[in-house]
């Protein structure tokens, strides 16, 4: 475990993570790696691991840590794949906004991802192929050029993380009543939410391919908003120039933006834990308790 400790310390320094994160990882997350390795060796094929967590829950950081430790401590080729890297281009979402509903201009919900590319990428990773992993530039609101996608080869464990990974579609009756002002004002006839729910149903075959599923469960949606505020504040502190801060949101803008995610986030909080192999309920400080 000494080597794991050193690697964990190095990761925390590089990502400017507080001491509490190190202790949380040692208590809750490190013990998962040997069982994942054993399962992969038993299957004799790449292992697909889903990691569900709402915005700001720390899922991307945890996925990156797991991949670092798998590669450096266990000599296991691993890769993290984020749902966020499969957003459709700005132009493609603009077209959806014209032909389906204006709210689809905003990236995030099912229907704003390139599902065909995501399915193909996961299939190739499951085959053990060499390939370039898509990357999305949130500052430009477009995918990065393919020349900038990182190359991977012979991956044995894939950590697939995202805010709605493994979320099931809602019953049609649940779509009738708006959950917030955005839905009431911008989607009074429920066109957008019915479309999103239909698209989410199309994601299910992909989710069903996951060999394991883990969840970081927020206390409630109000906490998710505070976490997103904290993310914006950290980014604002890191980006010093007005040009670099151009894509950051005010609290008012953030409040409207996050309402796009409220319905499915609350639905996920109520449903995904029962589907997960392991679920950690997070407190407001992101400290988990195993359920």
pLDDT tens for the chain, 291 residues long, are 558 889 999 999 998 898 889 999 999 999 999 999 999 999 999 999 999 999 889 999 999 999 999 999 999 999 999 999 999 999 999 999 999 999 999 999 999 999 999 999 999 999 999 999 999 998 889 999 999 999 999 999 999 999 999 999 999 999 999 999 999 999 999 999 999 999 999 999 999 999 999 999 999 999 998 898 877 777 666 655 555 445 567 878 888 999 999 999 999 999 999 999 999 999 998 888 755
Residue ranges of E strands in the chain: 47-53, 78-82, 131-132, 136-137, 142-143, 151-152, 157-162, 212-217, 278-282, 288-290
Provide the 3-class DSSP secondary structure of residue 285: coil
Q: What is the DSSP letter of 284?
A: T
Residue 32: exposed, middle, or buried by beta-carbon count in 10 A (0-12, 13-18, 19+)? middle
Structural domain range at position 33: 2-85+115-131+157-290
Alpha-carbon distance of 247 to 89, in angstroms, equals: 16
Alpha helix ranges (H) inside 90-220: 90-99, 115-126, 181-186, 191-207
Q: What is the pLDDT of residue 236?
A: 62
Alpha-carbon distance of 177 to 196, in angstroms, equals: 15
Q: What is the pLDDT of residue 19?
A: 87
Place of tokens 């008012």: 252
How many domains does one find in the chain?
Answer: 1
Q: What is the pLDDT of residue 245?
A: 46
Q: What is the CATH number of the domain that holds 206?
A: 3.40.50.300
Residue 97 lies in a domain: no
Residue 200 lies in a domain: yes
Residue 251 lies in a domain: yes
Alpha-carbon distance of 35 to 134, in angstroms, equals: 28
Residue 33 lies in a domain: yes
- Computed over its alpha carbons, how large is the radius of gyration of the chain? 19
Residue 173 lies in a domain: yes
- Beta strand pairing status for 157-162 and 47-53? parallel
Q: What is the pLDDT of residue 138?
A: 86
Residue 45 lies in a domain: yes
Share in percent of the chain as helix, strand, coil (round to 5): 55, 15, 30
Q: Which token pair is 53?
A: 């967590």
CB count within 10 Å of CB 212 equals 18
Residue 91 lies in a domain: no
pTM of the shown model: 0.93
Residue 191 lies in a domain: yes
Which of 175, 164, 181, 262 minimizes the C-alpha distance to 221?
A: 262
């Amino acid at each position: 475990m000494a080597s794991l400790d050193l690697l964990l310390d190095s990761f925390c320094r590089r990502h400017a993570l507080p001491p509490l994160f190190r202790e949380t990882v040692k208590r809750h997350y490190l013990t998962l790696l040997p069982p994942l390795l054993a399962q992969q060796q038993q299957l004799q094929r790449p292992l697909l691991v889903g990691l569900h967590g709402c915005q700001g829950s720390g899922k991307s950081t945890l996925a990156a840590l797991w991949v670092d430790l798998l590669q450096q401590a266990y000599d296991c080729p691993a890769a993290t794949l984020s749902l966020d890297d499969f957003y459709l281009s700005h132009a493609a979402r603009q077209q959806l906004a014209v032909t389906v509903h204006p709210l689809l201009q905003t990236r995030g919900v099912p229907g704003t991802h390139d599902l065909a590319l995501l399915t193909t990428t996961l299939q190739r990773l499951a085959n053990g192929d060499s390939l370039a992993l898509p990357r999305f530039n949130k500052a430009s609101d477009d995918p990065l050029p393919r020349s900038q996608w990182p190359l991977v080869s012979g991956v044995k464990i894939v950590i697939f993380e995202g805010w709605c990974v493994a979320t099931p579609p809602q019953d049609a009756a649940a779509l009738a009543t708006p959950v917030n002002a955005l839905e009431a004002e911008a989607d009074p006839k429920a066109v957008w939410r019915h479309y999103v729910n239909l698209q989410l149903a199309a994601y299910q075959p992909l989710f069903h391919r996951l060999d394991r599923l883990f969840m970081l469960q927020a206390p409630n949606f109000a906490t998710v908003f505070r976490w997103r505020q904290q993310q914006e504040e950290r980014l604002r502190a890191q980006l010093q120039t007005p040009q670099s801060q151009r894509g950051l949101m005010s609290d008012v803008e953030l409040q409207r933006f996050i309402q796009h995610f409220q319905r499915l986030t609350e639905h996920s909080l109520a449903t995904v834990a029962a589907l997960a192999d392991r679920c950690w309920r997070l407190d407001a400080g992101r400290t988990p308790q195993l359920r």
